[in-house]
């Protein structure tokens, strides 16, 4: 049986938040979906790269968006976040 879960994001959505989110969304529109096994199985300490032509998997894309709007920070790579 397949399931879909929804989690509501509780944060202040001011003009800066919305501007940064829109800028990020526009930068990734058209990028391909990709789930490389190496990213999932092996930890890397590298800092996230840019977004142009970058391929994301679902939770990685959300983590990158959260980083761009300042909800999460640190050196933890976006691909290390899982649903």
Whole-number Å distance between alpha carbons of 60 and 82? 7
**What residues contact residue 38 under an 8 Å CB cut-off, 6+ apart?**
none
Is the confidence at residue 23, as pLDDT, over 90? yes
Query: What is the number of H-type helices and E-type strands within the chain?
Result: 3, 0
pLDDT tens, residue by residue, 34-62: 776 666 565 555 555 566 667 788 888 88
Q: Is the whole model's pTM more than 0.85, yes or no? A: no
């Amino acid at each position: 049986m397949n399931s879909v879960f929804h989690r509501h994001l509780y944060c202040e959505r001011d003009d800066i938040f919305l501007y940064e989110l829109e800028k990020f969304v526009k930068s990734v529109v058209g990028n391909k979906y990709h789930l490389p096994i190496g990213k999932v199985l092996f930890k890397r300490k590298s800092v996230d790269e840019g977004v142009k032509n970058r391929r994301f998997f679902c939770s990685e894309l959300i983590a990158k968006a959260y980083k761009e709007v300042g909800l999460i920070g640190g050196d933890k790579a976006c691909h290390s976040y899982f649903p």
